Structure 1
Amino acid sequence: MELIMNIVCQVYFDEKSTEKIFELLNLYLPKYEELNLDYTLKEGFKSHYEMIEYFVITDNIRQTFYWNQQHDNPNNLTFGVNITDDNKTVFSLTIDGTISLAEIYLKDLKKKLNSDVGVITFVNPAEYQNGADFKEISAG
């Protein structure tokens, strides 16, 4: 089994939810490193949660977040959230591993998001304009 670096598993979620973001972040990376409060170049956030919540409750805004964990992370897992400008979310897990392992992560993430729309790519995430566009390219 060949180890492949930067396998990206992306799954569509038909809404935006701060609770879902933190539920999955804590599940996949329980010892994640918090983002800097100026991560989005927008100032004035008092907490990590407040920053994420702003992008969830604000309509028609686009923002991507990535978290990692330096310790106890054998697959070098990175957790990503792309909030799209059509008020959807694409979650991602980037791993160093095998195709079989990536398929397990993709299936698990789909189940947790109750979604049947997802894709595995290598090195770079799939490119898309918004949630509808992601659904279309993932079906192809």
Structure 2
Amino acid sequence: MEIIRDIVCQVYYDSKSSEKIFELLNLYLPKYEPLNLDYTFRIDSEEGFSSNHNMIDYFVNTDNVDTTFYWNQYTDNPNKIMFGVNITDDNKTIFSLTIDGTILLAEIYLNDLKQRLNSDIGVITFVNPAEYENGSDFKLKYQ
């Protein structure tokens, strides 16, 4: 079995939801490293964020913003999963799991993520995430 580094599994989600983001983050990386509170900034002020939840809620509840978050877990993570969320400017979300593993393992993760998001739109890439302009473009290219 050949282990491939940086296999990226991405799945389209037709909405934005802090609850869904943290549900999946806690599922795939239960001991994740919180993001620095200066990871990103508000588009409408210089006010900082008080927590990761506050940061995610801001981008979920603000229309037409584009931002990406990645979380890691440095212990108890044999497949070296990195969990990603791209909130697109058309108010959709592309979830990603980046792993080190086999093609079969990547397919398992992709299908699991699709099922949990109730989506049939997803793609596996290697090293670099798939290219797309926004959620609608992702849906069109990878449906």
| TM-score, structure 2 as length reference | 0.95
Q: What does 1:59-138 correspond to in 2, within 5 Å?
A: 59-138=63-142
Secondary structure (helix, strand or coil) at the match of 2:23 reads: helix
> Which deviates more from structure 2 when the two are superposed, residues 42-51 or residues 97-106?
42-51
- TM-score w.r.t. the length of structure 1 is 0.98
Aligned match of 2:30: 30
CA distance in 2, matches of 1:98, 1:137: 24
Partner residue in 2 for 1:2: 2
Q: Is 2:17 aligned against 1:17?
A: yes
| Post-superposition CA distance 1:66-96 (Å, at most 9, x none) | 0000000000000000000000000000000
CA–CA separation in structure 1 for the residues paired with 2:125 and 2:89 = 22
Measure how far apart 1:41 and its partner are: 3.6
Question: What SS does the corresponding residue of 1:34 show, helix, strand or coil?
Answer: coil
Q: What is the DSSP-based 3-state SS (H/G/I as helix, E as strand, rest coil) of the residue aligned with 1:101? A: helix
Q: Mind listing any 5+ residue stretches in structure 1 that lack a counterpart?
A: none
Provide the aligned length of Structure 1 versus Structure 2: 139
Q: Deviations over 1:23-54 (max 9, x none)?
A: 00000000000000000144411111000000
Letter in 2 for 1:15: S
The alignment yields a C-alpha RMSD, in angstroms, of 0.7
- Residue pair 2:41, 2:48 contacting (<8 A) in 1 also: no
- Counterparts of 1:13 and 1:86, CA distance in 2: 12
Q: In structure 1, what residue type is equivalent to 2:90? A: D
Query: 1:137: Cα distance to partner?
Result: 1.2
The CA deviation at 1:136 is 1.1
2:139 & 2:51 partners in 1: Cα distance?
Answer: 32
